[in-house]
């Protein structure tokens, strides 16, 4: 028995009484093109498609749109070493989930440089295999970001990005307001002398934390200690904290807070019994601890999902993208308590 003939767009056009170009636009057209087709005509074509059970040939459809249905993923730091897996994995989970929903495959761009020396536009890069690219990293190469903004290649950054000669489409976390809320919580608990352990920039994510912290000052709050480096010896940080009179320390890096808490325990001190500690979202230096630090949650999976959805819109409709900051919800933790009076 001969196999039944596969319906074509030409067949659908004859049944609907329209041109094949109209059928193609209904199936594949961008919203701006579809708007030129009367609603009654669109509905007639769609009714024929539903009645006949027509399914577009995915290869032909892909060729018509000029798409490979592949999204590139580029990270400025290696994505999978154990030291950074906790940071990148939630982003990748969100990206994968949304890519599946959108019927796109993923291409992890690992050939653009070695180790920490990664470049989007490295010689021999395979960027154009993908229809667009998601870009992640603590710090971006400014020249590359400017080149992306000025070019015609669809991309979306994960994390707020500025200073690129034009608006950068991104989905990030609202670290400034998340930090500000934690400072206010400390103030309500009677803390007036604060310490900040970490730099004020230059990466946007780091600068946003500092902006939220610095912007919360007033109403009797005083910054009595600012250690602008990460990775300092825990005992040095602990000595500086007690020497400054600070009753609460805000850590940019979870790893520093973990080491300081361990050094405090070794001295017979406790958190928050002797001083309080707040972590401004765990960052790229992963660390394990038996203590649940007061912090805020970075919605990494949701950032990955929304950035992927934004990229698909850019690819399929020419959308310019937007700039979205997602709320970082507070994490109660067990390291922020009432201010301890120092004698």
pLDDT of 309 strictly over 60: yes
Q: Tokens standing for 125?
A: 């890069």
Whether 339 is covered by a domain: the verdict is no
> Using 50, 70 and 90 to split pLDDT, how confident is the model at 3?
very low
- 32/22 Cα distance (integer angstroms): 14
pLDDT tens digits, 142-182: 889 999 998 889 999 999 998 788 899 999 999 999 999 99
Query: CB of 152 within 8 A of CB of 165?
Result: no
88 and 188 both lie in a single domain? no
**Can you tell me the mean pLDDT for 7-12?**
83
**Can you tell me the mean pLDDT for 86-110?**
90
> Using 50, 70 and 90 to split pLDDT, how confident is the model at 1?
very low
85 and 43 both lie in a single domain? no
- Note the pLDDT of residue 181: 96
The structure's pTM equals 0.78
Whether 250 is covered by a domain: the verdict is yes
19 and 122 both lie in a single domain? no
148 and 292 both lie in a single domain? no
Assign residue 58 the CATH number of its domain: 1.10.260.40
167 and 306 both lie in a single domain? yes
Q: Tokens standing for 63?
A: 């060729």
- Note the pLDDT of residue 282: 65
> Using 50, 70 and 90 to split pLDDT, how confident is the model at 120?
confident
Total number of domains constituting the chain: 3
pLDDT of 225 strictly over 60: yes
Whether 340 is covered by a domain: the verdict is no
Q: Going by C-beta distance under 8 Å and a sequence separation of 6 or more, which residues neighbour residue 277?
A: 248, 249, 251, 257, 260, 261, 271, 293, 294, 335, 336
Of 116-120, 248-252, 280-284, the one with minimum mean pLDDT is 280-284
- Note the pLDDT of residue 234: 97
Whether 1 is covered by a domain: the verdict is no
Residue 152 CB-half CA count within 13 A = 0
Number of H helices, E strands in the chain: 12, 14
Nearest to 173 by CA among 7, 19, 31, 303: 303
Nearest to 27 by CA among 55, 59, 68, 69: 55
pLDDT of 59 strictly over 50: no
Residue 108 β-bridge partners: 73
**Can you tell me the mean pLDDT for 254-270?**
94
Whether 92 is covered by a domain: the verdict is yes
How many Cβ atoms are within 10 Å of 50's Cβ, its own excluded?
9
95 and 28 both lie in a single domain? no
61 and 152 both lie in a single domain? no
129 and 229 both lie in a single domain? no
Nearest to 46 by CA among 63, 25, 65, 61: 25
**Can you tell me the mean pLDDT for 321-333?**
95
- Note the pLDDT of residue 301: 95
- Note the pLDDT of residue 2: 44
169 and 179 both lie in a single domain? no
- 116/134 Cα distance (integer angstroms): 18
Query: CB of 289 within 8 A of CB of 261?
Result: yes
First to last CA, the chain: 96
pLDDT of 326 strictly over 90: yes
pLDDT tens digits, 186-223: 999 999 999 999 999 898 999 999 999 999 987 789 99
321 and 213 both lie in a single domain? no
323 and 306 both lie in a single domain? yes
> Using 50, 70 and 90 to split pLDDT, how confident is the model at 81?
low
pLDDT of 49 strictly over 70: yes
Q: Going by C-beta distance under 8 Å and a sequence separation of 6 or more, which residues neighbour residue 49?
A: 12, 26, 27
Strand ranges (DSSP E) for 7-149?
A: 70-75, 105-108, 113-114, 117-118, 132-136
Q: Tokens standing for 137?
A: 């990293």
Assign residue 195 the CATH number of its domain: 3.40.50.2300
Whether 137 is covered by a domain: the verdict is yes
Structural domain harbouring 114? 70-173+300-328
100 and 240 both lie in a single domain? no
Whether 141 is covered by a domain: the verdict is yes
Whether 146 is covered by a domain: the verdict is yes
pLDDT of 32 strictly over 70: no
């Amino acid at each position: 028995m001969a196999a039944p003939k596969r319906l074509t767009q030409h067949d659908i056009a004859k049944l609907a009484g329209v041109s094949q170009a109209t059928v193609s636009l209904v199936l594949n057209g961008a919203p701006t093109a579809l708007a030129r087709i009367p609603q009654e005509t669109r509905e007639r074509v769609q009714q024929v498609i539903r009645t006949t059970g027509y399914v577009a040939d995915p290869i032909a459809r892909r060729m018509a749109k000029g798409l490979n249905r592949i999204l590139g993923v580029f990270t400025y730091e290696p994505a999978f070493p154990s030291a950074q897996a906790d940071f990148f994995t939630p982003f990748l989970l969100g990206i994968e989930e949304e890519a599946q929903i959108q019927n796109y495959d993923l291409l992890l761009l690992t050939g653009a440089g070695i180790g920490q020396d990664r470049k989007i536009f490295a010689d021999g890069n395979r960027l154009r295999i993908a229809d667009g690219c998601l870009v992640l990293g603590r710090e971006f190469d400014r020249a590359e970001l400017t080149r992306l903004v000025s070019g015609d290649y669809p991309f979306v950054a994960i994390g707020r990005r500025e200073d690129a000669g034009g608006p950068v489409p991104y989905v990030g976390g609202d670290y400034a307001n998340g930090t500000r809320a934690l400072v206010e919580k400390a103030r309500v608990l009677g803390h007036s002398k604060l310490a900040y352990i970490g730099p004020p920039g230059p990466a946007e994510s780091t600068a946003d934390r500092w902006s939220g912290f610095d912007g919360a000052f007033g109403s009797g709050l005083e910054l009595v200690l600012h250690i602008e480096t990460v990775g300092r010896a825990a005992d040095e940080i602990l000595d500086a904290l007690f020497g400054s009179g600070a009753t609460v320390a805000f850590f940019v890096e979870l790893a520093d807070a973990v080491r300081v808490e361990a050094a405090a325990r070794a001295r017979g001190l406790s958190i928050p019994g002797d001083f309080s500690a707040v972590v401004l979202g765990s960052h790229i230096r992963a660390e394990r601890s038996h203590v649940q630090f007061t912090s805020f949650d970075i919605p990494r999976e949701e950032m990955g999902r929304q950035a992927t959805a934004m990229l698909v819109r850019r690819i399929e409709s020419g959308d310019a993208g937007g700039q979205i900051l997602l709320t970082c919800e507070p994490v109660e933790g067990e390291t922020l308590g009432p201010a301890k009076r120092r004698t």
